[in-house]
Amino acid sequence: MMMGQGFVVQGSNGEFPFLTSSERLEVVSRARQALPKDKLLLAGSGCESTQATVEMTVSMAQVGADAAMVVTPCYYRGRMSSAALIHHYTKVADLSPVPVVLYSVPANTGLDLPVDAVVTLSQHPNIVGIKDSGGDVTRIGLIVHKTRSQDFQVLAGSAGFLLASYAIGAVGGVCALANVLGSQVCQLERLCLTGQWEDAQKLQHRLIEPNTAVTRRFGIPGLKKTMDWFGYYGGPCRSPLQELSPAQEEALRLDFASNGWL
């Protein structure tokens, strides 16, 4: 399965921990209905238990997901050894009717999917790649290197290190910033893939502050506010996430304006 251009729903910015199971499935179903047939739909199906993850993955496939993106279970992170994670993902991939993409997002889970576990899991015929949001380019390069003999695709998990990831062998990205600067993120990909590194570097530099603003700095409330500014619908966040204060909103605006986006 080549992960061409498409969409991810129920990733970290989909507020999935705050949604009921039926709401999570409805989001996938509605997205599938709205998307052209040739666009891939990746759906975040991760839950804390293996059984719940299998059930959610099967259900999401039934309502139209082309692949499942499965975040690391993390509530009992102290016990999430490589062995535990390999067992979890193997079980999910064995029973999933669609390909599985591993998802490591340590900023939210406090857990990095260990490289040795990724390498082992890359050998599973139904595990096709990883979204790595940690931002450690050394780690991304090592995963690319150690999985090079497998049909396994490494995706950058954020727009702030997209150029660096392409330079070291990643083949794509799943980026929160694409919700507001989608064409610019796609343009950065094109520049990297066609070897126009100087232009790519200039564009990458201008995306770093906006990307940090809608991820680490202001999170989902910041992303949704920016979507409203750019003519999309961001809307309110679910509690306990809070709206930005006026001062935070001003700082967010500056991160975009100072880079020429507003």
The residues assigned a catalytic role are 103, 131
Instruction: Provide the 8-state DSSP code for 35.
Output: S
Under the phi-then-psi rule, with left for phi > 0, alpha for psi from -120 to 50, and beta for the rest, what region is 68?
Answer: beta
Q: List all residues 6 or more positions away from 175 whose beta carbon is below 8 Å from its beta carbon.
A: 156, 157, 158, 159, 162, 185, 211
Q: Is 1 helix (H, G, I), strand (E, B) or coil?
A: coil
3-state secondary structure of 96: coil
SS3 state of residue 92: helix
Q: What is each CA distance from 80 to 88, 130, 235, in whole angstroms?
A: 10, 18, 35
HSE, side-chain direction, 13 A CA sphere, residue 210: 28
Note whether 185 and 177 are within 8 A (CB).
yes
Backbone φ and ψ of 208, nearest 5°: -65, -50
Burial status of residue 195 (CB atoms within 10 A of its CB: 0-12, 13-18, 19 or more): exposed
Residue count of the chain, please give it: 262
State yes or no: 119 annotated in a binding site.
no
**Residues marked as binding?**
174
**Residues marked as binding for pyruvate?**
174
